[in-house]
A and B are shown apart, each in its own frame.
Chain A
Amino acid sequence: MTDKAIASPAAPAATSHSGLGQWLRAPVPASPFHARMQQLWLQWRRLHANGSALFGLCVIVILLLAALFAPLLATHDIFEQNLAARLLAPSAEHWLGTDELGRDVYSRLLFGARITLYIALLTTVIVAPIGLIVGTTAGYLGGWVDTVLMRIVDVFLAFPNLILALAFVAALGPGIENAIIAISLASWPPIARLARAETLTIRKSDYIAAVRLQGASSLRIIFGHIMPMCIPSVVVRVTLNMAAIILTAAGLGFLGLGAQPPSPEWGTMLSSGREFVMTSWWIAAIPGTAILLTSLAFNLLGDGLRDILDPRHG
């Protein structure tokens, strides 16, 4: 059985559905790819059993689809103003009503998802590697490298997130790109802290001592052995952080320092709906609910990922 599994390449087994299931449950993995896929399968099974995480994932997937297919799903032009049809309540013609300039809220919400996800994903892509590299390097090398890097982190951590982002946007000028840079600058330090804390516990372990005794360089140890151990907690942290990023982006938009008015960013929409909140609740409530739901979804998914990715669960 063993020898057969080794001899035959893994791919042909994956043709039919039952074949795929068998392949994923095979007791002896036949290649590194096979072993990796089996691990992913187990993790997926665990995610599947976790209701709230699955809900979070569904919301995020729906959001991604909505953002992707926004031009197909939208019923109206998002920039076209129609003052005759301003402040209309939700109806068959305008599913989520219209705003103070007569623009369709539903269509704007769809395009707003693009901006929100763009900010959240781009910030994460910038923040996670920087935090990871700074944190693991400081934690593994220790000494003055650690002191210098962590004091820099302390300086950033001394300011509240939004205030720091505000200061950077004020310096760089308003706009989505600058908002992303500002939010990134404000949100890498907690990740560096987390990665450093993880590294401090990992560097003392026998498996790191073992690679050191094999003559591995610090660079190889940090990138090849410490980082893979830090990635799960960083992924969890980043997912939980997405909610904060979305809120900060919306906050900047609300204050007029993020996306600029004609663009349908949720924070900006919320801000313009504020004046009409007593008479036309939907203008503020709908982007507000979207922000709430998205943040909640990322939080639930992050919580679930923490249970799934923890290496101690094996």
Chain B
Amino acid sequence: MKPSRPLIEAIGLSISFGPQHARNRVVDDVSFRIGKGEAYGLIGESGCGKSTILRALSGLNGEYEGALTLNDRELPKKRDKEFFRRAQMVFQDPFGSLHPRKIVEKVLSEPLKIHGFDRHSERIAETLDAVGLGPSFRYRYPHELSGGQRQRVAIARALIIEPDILLLDEPTSALDVSVQAEILNLLKRLRIERNLTYLMVSHDLAVIAHICERAGMMHRGRIIEELTAGQIRKSEAREDYTREFLQASVEAVARDAEVVA
């Protein structure tokens, strides 16, 4: 299951916010490895630092200590264009992550222009098709779309430059339950079709268990233990905190397991 060399590795990652005299350490000495083609989850309650890790890895926040590596090479604090082509992010809130004044086609052609891709029109049509939106959505403004449709556009925007890593920041938590399942199944299908590597952040165990093979349980800025999807479903945990967390959402996981099966 574990490949020999990880694609992404975090070594002793620490992130602090606030002024010098009152530093608040949000992420404390976190290390994890994600193999190529793997889906790794970070679970934890709100404020435990999981999204902060994702923002640091994506390059939105360059102020961290420790190292993040891609293909065994340490990433510079200020990411280069090549990194952005390989790793793309999907945000939590589909209502905030699309430019309100740009039609879908413009949203999708922007990354193509930045990275100098050819065949814009064909690529846009193909990617829209891949995320389950027909050509009729091509010239729509975001405010004409539903939450699920917007999230599909956001996923299309991330995928159009053919990255191999997708960073998912609670991609379904802002959607209602029926749409959540659709988006999760879409993400699952896309990963297999395109051989993508996922790093997914969520507080929802059912979502993590559905998408990821392994997950790190986070508490107060640390990864306290790593679990496989099977362990999450069977509620097998070493730490008391994890067991409590699993217990609290066990019904949801059970329900999801039925849906998947």
Contact = CB atoms under 8 A, between A and B. Distances in A.
Interface in A154-204: none
Determine the main DSSP class of A at the interface with B: helix
A2 B135 contact: yes
Interface in A293-314: 311, 314
Contacts of B21: none
B105 interface: yes
Given A2-B135, A29-B139, 19 more contacts: A2-B134, A32-B139, A35-B139, A35-B140, A205-B96, A206-B91, A209-B97, A210-B157, A211-B99, A212-B59, A213-B58, A213-B59, A213-B88, A213-B89, A214-B114, A214-B157, A215-B114, A220-B114, A228-B101
A289 to B, nearest CB: 39
Interface in A22-40: 28-32, 34-35, 39
Interface in B53-96: 58-60, 81, 84-85, 88-89, 91-93, 96
A214 B157 CA distance: 9
Contact of B103 (A32, A213, A214, A229): A32
A214 B60 contact: no
Contacts of A212: 59-60
A31 B139 contact: yes
Nearest to A3: B135
Interface residues of B, number: 35
Contacts of A206: 91-93, 96-97
Given A32-B103, A206-B93, A311-B101, A213 B84 contact: yes
18 contacts: A6-B135, A28-B136, A29-B140, A31-B139, A32-B139, A34-B139, A35-B141, A206-B93, A207-B99, A209-B91, A210-B89, A210-B97, A212-B59, A213-B89, A215-B85, A216-B114, A220-B114, A311-B100
Contacts of B92: 206
Given A32-B105, A207-B96, A225-B99, A215 B81 contact: yes
Contacts of B161: 214
Interface of B: 58-60, 81, 84-85, 88-89, 91-93, 96-103, 105-106, 110-111, 114-115, 134-136, 139-141, 143, 154, 157, 161
Contacts of A205: 96
A35 B115 contact: no
A5 B135 CA distance: 10
Contacts of B136: 2, 5-6, 28
Contacts of A210: 89, 91, 97, 154, 157
Nearest to A212: B60
A273 to B, nearest CB: 48
A311 B161 CA distance: 28
Contacts of B84: 213-215
Contact of A207 (B85, B97, B103, B139): B97
Contacts of B134: 2
A242 B60 CA distance: 41
A214 B88 contact: yes
A285 B100 CA distance: 47
Most chain B CB within 10 A, of A209, A220, A224, is at A209
Contacts of B89: 209-210, 213
A53 to B, nearest CB: 21
